[in-house]
Structure 1
Amino acid sequence: MNIRELTATDTERVRELVESTMTTSYALSPQQIKTLADEQFGEERLTRQVETPETVIRVADSEEWDTIVGVVVGEREDETGEVKWLLIDPEHQGKEIGRKLFETAIDALREQGAKRLQATALESNTEGHQFFERFGFEEAERRQVEIGDESVVEYVYKESPSNGETTADSREADAETDAVADASEVENDDLPNTESSDGKTTVTTDDERVYLDLDAEQSGTEGAFFTAYTDENHGEQFGYYCSNCGSLNTSMDNVERIECKECGNTHVSRSTEEYDDSYL
């Protein structure tokens, strides 16, 4: 396996790799994958990035298969280096290619002068999140990014200080992580437009009462979503309740992306299965 810099002749193969990997490992629609590949891995963009000193692009070239089987993209802005994309061909996952590419990109960003390191992963990436935690990166924040005309959730992981000291950056990251954790620990009194009686939490809308299952929680960019039912025994689902604004005006698309139509709070499902090293 040869780790090397991207060249102009590699762009077509990288685009193929991106689409095949995202189809396997991302909970995105075919149109979202195509749009993302066009925007982030189009030939013109890749060629421009190769010529940009602040950008690090490395590919894993398999001599056995005579093709590129992995790519990593990083960018440096001032003293912050960020690994933005790490994609491994589905047929070659589990061979530590991801680890080698990630370590190579991190070393290159440090050589460029990056003192703070972070990595990002779309929430819809079903395999990549725990990968970064293996390298001492911790979830620091969640933000919304645009793919075409759609908004999706992106997780930001920041490197923990290796010397055990609490820096300003790590304090900020800890605060943001705590805020995310606290958002999921919602008390009944904190849920807008709800009433609680006899252990039941309800919402009344258009003269119809629905019942919330506070154990059926889905994460969101602004607040948790809870499953709502038409009956107190939770037999028939009504939809989803947004804890950020108290609305039941929510929708779910064919890739299980929940969105509140009132405040824009968004959830995209991703795997909660135990990490099995398949991304390395």
Structure 2
Amino acid sequence: MDVREATHDDASGIRRVAEASLEATYAGQLGDDIVDAAAEEWYGGDRLDDRLDADDVVYLVVVDGDEVVAFSESELDVRQPEGDASGSSAGVAAIQWLHVHPDHRGRGFGGRLLERTEAALFERTANRVEGRVLAANEEGNEFYQASGYARTGERTLDIGGDSYTEHLYVKLPEGNAAELTEEHEVEDGTVFVAYDERERGSRAPFYAAYRTQDRQRRYGFYCAACGSLDTSMNSMGRIQCESCDNKRKATRWDSSYL
């Protein structure tokens, strides 16, 4: 067994693993039509080639013999510290997918792949690694919890016209003291930005902002591209910064994908 960076030669193996894993894990929850459409959207056409070439994407594969049996797809994102014009940034990494082919589960491939994925992300300046799993995927939730991830929250997703809960997880590198909640002053008081509740943006992430440190009163979103809290969200969940052109990018389960 070998864990290494993926190449374009691995594309067909990645697609095969993704299709089998999505079918085994989610078809019973979401239905075959949604799973088939998701696999085609994410791993068909040019998208996979573009992702393999992207500088902010880390793709690792597990190869057993000559066969790809598992892979992880992760994204690196950054936020600009408030008041810092130097261009320095703190890295945030999100594991978008970690798939093991159903025929090769139970052999420890998932755990070893996760360890190598974390190491690769931390080496690329990530100060934390995030994972997201549908609540109904009990095996996936247990996997993150057993791997030292802390569950930090949840959010509601619209998938194929139905609502599903997704659990949010985070893991810090050993010895890291990163603050996951940060105070920001606004005209009418203080808000608390939660750096473990992130939405992907076209220029930089959006982070959830709250009126209270216990995160009981929602305020809105903090734009990491320009440091503004002047953001809006429409009824379709589209977030936009009113101070710059940063917009929320579609996530893996957005209805716009399917």
TM-score of the superposition, structure 1-length normalised? 0.56
The Cα of 1:67 is off from its aligned counterpart by 1.4
Q: Deviations over 1:131-167 (max 9, x none)?
A: 11122211112123455666543221011574496x5
Q: Secondary structure at the match of 1:94?
A: coil
1:10 corresponds to which residue?
Answer: 10
Q: Deviations over 1:98-119 (max 9, x none)?
A: 0111111111111111112211
CA distance in structure 1 between the partners assigned to 2:170 and 2:39 by the alignment: 25
Identical pairs, percent: 26
- C-alpha spacing 1:49/1:9, structure 2 compared with 1 (3 Å): same
- C-alpha spacing 1:68/1:146, structure 2 compared with 1 (3 Å): farther
2:156 corresponds to which residue?
Answer: 144
Give yes or no for contact 1:25–1:126 (8 Å, CA) kept in 2.
no
**Equivalences for residues 184-223 of structure 1 within 5 A:** none
The Cα of 1:129 is off from its aligned counterpart by 0.7
Q: Secondary structure at the match of 1:15?
A: helix
CA distance in structure 1 between the partners assigned to 2:22 and 2:139 by the alignment: 10
2:88 corresponds to which residue?
Answer: none
Aligned match for 1:82, one of 55, 79, 94: 94
Q: Secondary structure at the match of 1:100?
A: helix
2:36 corresponds to which residue?
Answer: 34
- C-alpha spacing 1:100/1:170, structure 2 compared with 1 (3 Å): farther
Paired amino acid for 1:134: A
- C-alpha spacing 1:3/1:164, structure 2 compared with 1 (3 Å): closer
- C-alpha spacing 1:129/1:169, structure 2 compared with 1 (3 Å): same
2:53 corresponds to which residue?
Answer: 51
Q: Deviations over 1:175-233 (max 9, x none)?
A: 99x879xxxxxxxxxxxxxxxxxxxxxxxxxxxxxxxxxxxxxxxxxxxxxxxxxxxxx
Q: Secondary structure at the match of 2:139?
A: coil
CA distance in structure 2 between the partners assigned to 1:179 and 1:94 by the alignment: 38
The Cα of 1:12 is off from its aligned counterpart by 2.4
CA distance in structure 2 between the partners assigned to 1:36 and 1:20 by the alignment: 12
1:116 corresponds to which residue?
Answer: 128
- C-alpha spacing 1:137/1:84, structure 2 compared with 1 (3 Å): same
Give yes or no for contact 1:160–1:170 (8 Å, CA) kept in 2.
no
Q: Deviations over 1:54-103 (max 9, x none)?
A: 1011111110xx31110111111011011111110111111110011111
Quick check: 1:133 aligned with 2:133? no
1:169 corresponds to which residue?
Answer: 180
How large is the RMSD of aligned CA atoms in angstroms?
2.8
Q: Secondary structure at the match of 1:108?
A: helix
Q: Secondary structure at the match of 1:73?
A: strand
CA distance in structure 1 between the partners assigned to 2:215 and 2:155 by the alignment: 13
Q: Secondary structure at the match of 1:156?
A: strand
Q: Deviations over 1:13-44 (max 9, x none)?
A: 22221121122222221011112212222241
Paired amino acid for 1:89: H
CA distance in structure 2 between the partners assigned to 1:147 and 1:14 by the alignment: 23
Give yes or no for contact 1:5–1:57 (8 Å, CA) kept in 2.
yes
- C-alpha spacing 1:51/1:31, structure 2 compared with 1 (3 Å): same
- C-alpha spacing 1:60/1:20, structure 2 compared with 1 (3 Å): same
Q: Deviations over 1:215-272 (max 9, x none)?
A: xxxxxxxxxxxxxxxxxxxxxxxxxxxxxxxxxxxxxxxxxxxxxxxxxxxxxxxxxx
Paired amino acid for 1:56: V
TM-score of the superposition, structure 2-length normalised? 0.60
